[in-house]
Structure 1
C-alpha cells in the first residue's frame, strides 16, 4: 500500500509552482522530484500535478513517501551512543578508532554499520546518510539524516555554515595569540597523496580558535570550522607548530592516547522541520580525559 504525506498550502506560499513549493518549502531535491514524477507520486487536490502549475492557498499536495529499501551498509552489532534522535535525524557520539562510513578497502566495523544494526533491531529500514564526517581517530558528534528530504535540507544548512561544529584539541606548546583565526589554503600533500598540507594551490580553509587553558607543555583549545577541508584542524595547527597530542600523521604519537586528542565536543543547528534549534554536547571519552589529567589541565573541563 502506498503512503502519502499531505501538505496544505498557506497564504504565504500561494503563487509558487508545484516544483518551487517542493524545493523551497518541503526541501525536496531535483533528483527526488524526478523520481516522484516518474512514479506519479505528486498529487494536487487528488489529481496528478504538473510541476509548473501554480498553487493556491488551501490547495492540498500529497507526496508519495519513498521508503528506503536498504541500509546502504551491512548491519553489524556494535555499541553506539545516541546524543539525540527523532523521526528525521540522529546524532551519535563517535568513539575514536572508528570510521564514520565505509570507504576504500574498509566496508565493515564502521559507525554506520553499527547504526544500521540499531535501526534493524528497531524494525526500521533506513539508509545511512552521514551529513559530515570525522577522521577515524577523532571522537565526538556526528549527524545523520533518516530520509532523502532531511538529508537535502541538512546538506544545504552545512553548505551555508548553519551547522555549528565545535572541537576541543590538546596541542603541543602555548599558542600565540591565544585567540585567533587561521586562514590558510589546504590541498593534497605534494609527496604523500593520503595527507593534506597548507599549499597556495589548495582550497580556502578557515579555522577559528580560542585558548581554554594551558599547562607548561600543552594547551587546550576550542576550535570552530568555517570550512570543512579534510584534516583541516590537524593541518592548520601542525603548520603553526602546535600539532595535536597523539597525531601520528601531522605530529607524533603519544603513550597517553591511541589517536589524536581531538574531540567534536558540540553541534548546533536549526531543526529541519520544527521551529527550534538543537544544541548537543558529546562527553569526552576516557582516553581524552586521561590526556587532560596527565597534563594537569583545569578540572572544570574534565566533566564534558
Structure 2
C-alpha cells in the first residue's frame, strides 16, 4: 500500500509552482522530485500533476513517501546510542559533528550509516527513515521511523504540532525578557549562500523560549519550535541580539568551544499504537556541560 504526505497550500504560497513549493517550503531535493515525477508520485486534487503547475490557496498536494534504495546507503560500524525504541520508531542521540544522513558528496560516516549497520547486525535490515534533521554540529534527539506508515504518521504529527522538539542553547547576553516568542519570517540570505535571514518576504517562523538560568554575561535557554525552518533557532536568536556561543555562521566564536552550543534535549510525540504521550530526553554532552561550568565561573 502506497503512503502519501499531504500538504494544504496556504494563502501566502498561492502562485508558486509545485516544484518551487516543494523545494522552498518543504525542502525537497531536485533528485527526489525527479524520482517522484517518474513514479507519478505527486498528486494535486488526487491526480498526477506536472512540476510547473501553479498552486492555489487551499489546494491539497499529496506526495508519495518513497521507499529509498538502501543499497546506496552503506552500513558502517559506528556509535549508535538508542534513547528509546518501540515497534514503530527509534530515538537516537546524535553526537555533534555527525550528519544525520548522507548528503551531497558525504556518503558515509553518518548516523544513518551506523544505524543501518546496527539494524543489519540484528537481522533487521530495511530503509533508514529519519523523520527530521539536525545540523551537523547540533547534538541530541533524532527520530527514525521503522517503516513507511510510521514515517507518514510521525510526519503528520510534526505538521499538527503534536510531535514537539525542545532544544537547549547557550547564548551571549542576559536575555530580556527572560521568556517569550520570536515570530519573524525567515528566507534565504540576500548575499551569503547557504544562510538564512529574517526578512519580510520569508516563510513564517515561530520560536518559543525561556531562560533556564543566567550564567554571568551569558544565558542558558530552552527553546521549542512551532515551525521548522532551516537554521531557525540560530537565525532567530541572532536576530534577537543573543547569538549562540560557538556558532561560526550566525553566532559568536569562543576559544573554549569547538561548535555551536545547541542541543536537541527532548522530543515528545504520541505513541503510534495507543496514542499515549511519550517524551524522550538526551543528556547534555560533556563539551556543553564544561561550557556551562566555565560560564558560571566567569
TM-score (norm 1): 0.74
In structure 2, the residue matched to 1:145 is 145
1:69 to partner: Cα distance: 7.7
Give the 3-state SS of the residue equivalent to 1:213 in structure 2: strand
Larger Rg, first or second structure (1 or 2): 1
User: SS in structure 2 opposite 1:295?
Assistant: helix
1:209-224 alignment runs, 5 A limit: 209-224=209-224
Q: What does residue 81 of structure 2 align with?
A: 81
Moved over 4 A (4+): none
1:271, 1:191 → 2: CA distance? 43
Partner of 1:29: 3
Could you tell me how far apart the structure 2 residues matched to 1:260 and 1:108 are? 23
Q: Write out aligned runs for 1:121-132 (5 A).
A: 121-132=121-132
- Residue 196 of structure 2 corresponds to 196
Contact 2:174–2:218 (CA under 8 A) maintained in structure 1? yes
TM-score normalised over the length of structure 2: 0.76
Count of aligned residue pairs for this structure pair: 236
Is 1:179 the counterpart of 2:153 in the alignment? no
- Unaligned stretches of 5+ residues in structure 1: 1-21, 23-27, 32-66, 298-304
> Which residue matches 2:291?
291
CA 1:71–1:244: 2 relative to 1, 3 Å:
farther
Counterpart in 2 of 1:259?
259
Q: Where do residues 217-232 of structure 1 align in structure 2 (5 Å cutoff)?
A: 217-232=217-232
- Cα shift at 1:273: 1.7
Q: Counterpart of 2:70 in 1: which secondary structure?
A: coil
**2-side partners of 1:238 and 1:182: how far apart?**
11
Q: Do the aligned partners of 1:244 and 1:261 also contact (CA within 8 Å) in 2?
A: yes
SS in 2 for 1:296: helix
Counterparts of 2:126 and 2:83, CA distance in 1: 18
**Alpha-carbon displacement from aligned partner over 1:69-124 (angstroms, at most 9, x marks no partner):** 83651111110110011221000011110111111121111111111111111111
Give unmatched runs, 5+ long, in structure 2.
6-66
Residue deviations 1:250-300, cap 9 Å, x none? 023222221101001011100112232211100011111011110118xxx
State whether structure 2 residue 135 is matched by structure 1 residue 168. Answer: no
- Who is 2:10 aligned against? none
Q: Quick check: 2:216–2:296 contact (8 Å CA) kept in 1?
A: no
SS in 2 for 1:112: helix
